Structure 1
């Protein structure tokens, strides 16, 4: 514009624009006359020095910077970048042929197990070192991954792996809420998850860790296992448990801490006899199905089976019978736990040498008496509610007892 108000003009209305406003040193106030850093946070000509790599990893940045997804890992990051791309022709052939060999693979596995059953040789012959050959999905390329495999672009791989990673993290956190996780000396628990290389090949472990950090997770060194990326999250110990005192007033029947309704007594003998048949069948059908609850079998058994020790207590629904049953199970589990050496708790031992011995009682143990009554009986022997878990009296009762190495 002739009035001097063109792009970058700063000399007022009506002033004539200079011949070369971006090359004259007199325009020092003009930001375009000064050399500025490029917008790309990872310019190839100016890589981050090692001492700034961690800050660059945590700072907001464009998701698909070219240098970030290079073959070499970020300095000091410790996680490798993308793996070498697979041959496009091989990927296409695998995608086309999998619709033929995958059904045949499944039929072959079914036939193999039928032969084992008919030959009555389930445990007699040699077994494979792992069950990897049973998982057909490992050799299957879904259509969503095909594009990422063919293009090799990080944004396509990120679009593919993001929902998978979100499901893995959600499942791990749900398992933690149900009582899963690796215990720590501070009563916190660590849950872990992982992804196989085939799911993030073009993104790299560094890219997966970056995505996991958005959910509050962090990467864990995989050691010599270059075919997986390991993730973890530490959950602190829950707040003080909201539970009634063992010596307080009894909880009302039907409440979480009070006595629960027992099953119809005349039906229990039939359950006791039929469970010999349907319990093993159910176990075989679900042995490869992962469950969110780590004590899923105890929860299932409390609904559909009745143990010989609990039969009399549940059949009569007598408070005295329930108390005897609770004491019997508590003595059995406590003896087994106390027989463990203190050395086995080394990772959970506090600096002063104290640690907690842990047991848990299933709902079937105290159904008709109530969780508070079971807690009262356990408190007589020094057991308290485990501070590492949120109480869940409707399903199980987790107890702890202080000890010293």
Structure 2
């Protein structure tokens, strides 16, 4: 029986022990090769350590930083008999907060580390705000290095209480947040329960990762599929008659189902044109399907001959997105150069790229006070709200409803660099300073 898959991300301030925690998970789940373990043991002995330095298993990012190379998200894969995992390991330095956006954008859970000696710091609040904006469904507060505070229950409870208030103000439901006191260095409550925390009756970190429900909200949302490619034989002369047979007039629309489920017989609307038609077949390379859910790449055939091309979108006829040329959005600014009001940029939404004009920010989110403050521009790692006008109408959903069709990228036309990640609507309700 195939195991299910959990995608999760890690975040936290620099030196909070994130590399050691990831190394501990990989080491204790036997997800590293024997020669890697031997290399770590030798390096640890050379450093005069009595126990293996597990951060060496994942410290490629640190080596990149020392070489002056741009830091990116590292994806790591491991599994247990219960479940498979895809871990997006994001760097902790403030200047790389933008990478948390990348790592958490597809996560179903995030592990946010804090150092028990320091408690909740500015970077913790910043990361929590980004995770709330991206609507990550579940959050683990991992209070690390509890061995360095003598397993002080009162101190750890105080950190938990402070973070619970922060998470609540950001809109996380109470049952979506799990606090786990642990020590990545010695292994307390990471994979094995620690006898040093008899006052803690919750799960270990791995136990929580293995048991938390994997709910993909995109599956229960209305059907959406951006068209990636139109599949047709180039001509009857090019098509091998024995292969194509009666399908020499085949016309299929290929793409990945972004949300919902599609079946033959479903009524769909082609956007932005607005014409209604019916799905006749859902094809794959392995044959036809009776249904296809979010995440599957398929080719859809329609009952009517419609002029449909890359960039168009097939949507459920009874639950359509808004088609608009003016978008109120929240931006996570990723570019080194600040936003220039009324800048002409490219906007990529689904499979369509169009020209856009980005207005001056309406406000910027102060992650320290969780309030909206006035802003004339947005700089690296800033989060703010803007209005964007596009050259072509786009079918968009609120990001809070459907992440795939409620998100977009802003691109610098001359260089092709990504400048911002955009979320349609206002995912966070904050007060104004």
Q: TM-score per shorter chain, which class?
A: under 0.3
Larger proportion of helix: 1
Q: Normalising to structure 1: TM-score of the pair?
A: 0.25
Q: Normalising to structure 2: TM-score of the pair?
A: 0.24
